[in-house]
């Protein structure tokens, strides 16, 4: 997961990505023109992420927890900083924070990913994210979103990348892959890789497990 088969270079108008398709041909250059964010706007997003995480933990655990030490907050904080620099055209600093995030938390969240406020990544180790998502995205352990080999259409999130709506939940080991649109309020259950469009409010379910008696115990 995570579409990294492209080279990114800073430019005054945005960030240009040039990729190659499976036949080795160089694709048309794509300019990532994410609007710049001021530090005030970035801080507001971080605050919204922190508040959502806090409310989620408080509602479930019933007592406050040290949010600043929570892996989700650290991971999302570093992503927000790297995304801020990316939007400002400082691709080196963006890359630096991206790498630091991967080293510290084990999450590979591209600086070019455009994720709305209220982002929660429950256990960042093994998470890979690239694409666009709306508000209140919940990413559970080892889930992710990104490109799929051989598909480079643009649905509004960049070439070959998924576009997720608001309030989407990605359960453990699930993924949204390729140029697809996932609607608002969609829940992708564990172990499922979505490669097609999903309308609003749907649950994408995988196969139900079967129980077989263990012969080695009998």
Binding site for other proteins (CB under 8 A): 4-7, 18-20, 22-24, 56-57, 59-63, 65-66, 69-71, 104-106, 122-123, 125-126, 138, 140-142, 149-150, 169, 171-173, 189-192, 206-214, 217-218
The nearer residue to other proteins, 150 or 156, going by C-beta atoms, is 150
Residue 202 tokens read as 């749907």
Letter string b/e over residues 42-69, b meaning 16 or more CB atoms within 10 A of that residue's CB = beebbebbbebbeebbeeeeeeeeebee
For other proteins, give the closer residue by CB, 7 or 33. Answer: 7
Nearest approach, Cβ of residue 55 and other proteins (Å): 10
Please, where are the H alpha helices in 29-127? 39-61, 71-87, 91-105
Query: Shortest Cβ distance from residue 115 to other proteins (Å)?
Result: 18
CA distance 56 to 18: 40
**CB closer to other proteins, 147 vs 165:** 147
Q: Residue 17 or 84: which CB sits closer to other proteins?
A: 17
Give me the least distance between CB of 122 and other proteins, in Å please: 4
Q: How far is the CB of 89 from other proteins (least distance, A)?
A: 21
The residue assigned the tokens 């990505």 is 17
The DSSP H or E segment spanning 51 is: helix 39-61
Nearer to other proteins, 45 or 70 (CB): 70
The CA–CA distances, whole Å, from 197 to 136, 179, 185 equal 19, 9, 13
Q: How far is the CB of 77 from other proteins (least distance, A)?
A: 14
Look at residues 109, 42, 25 and name the one whose alpha carbon lies nearest to residue 75: 109
């Amino acid at each position: 997961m995570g579409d990294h088969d492209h080279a990114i270079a800073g430019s005054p108008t945005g960030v240009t990505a040039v990729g190659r398709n499976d036949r080795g041909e160089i694709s048309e250059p794509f300019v990532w023109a994410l609007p710049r964010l001021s530090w005030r706007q970035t801080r507001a997003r971080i605050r919204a992420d922190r508040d959502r995480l806090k409310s989620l933990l408080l509602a479930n655990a019933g007592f406050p927890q040290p949010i600043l030490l929570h892996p989700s907050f650290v991971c999302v904080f570093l992503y927000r900083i790297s995304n801020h620099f990316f939007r400002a055209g400082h691709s080196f600093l963006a890359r630096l924070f991206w790498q630091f995030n991967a080293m510290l938390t084990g999450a590979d969240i591209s600086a070019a990913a455009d994720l709305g406020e209220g982002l929660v990544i429950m256990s960042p180790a093994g998470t890979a994210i690239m694409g666009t998502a709306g508000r209140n995205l919940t990413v559970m352990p080892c889930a992710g979103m990104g490109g799929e080999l051989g598909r480079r259409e643009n649905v509004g999130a960049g070439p070959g990348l998924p576009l997720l709506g608001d309030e989407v939940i990605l359960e453990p080991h699930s993924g949204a892959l390729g140029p697809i649109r996932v609607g608002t309020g969609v829940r992708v259950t564990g172990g499922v890789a979505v490669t097609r469009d999903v309308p609003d409010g749907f649950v994408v379910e995988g196969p139900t497990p079967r129980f077989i008696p263990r012969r080695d115990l009998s």
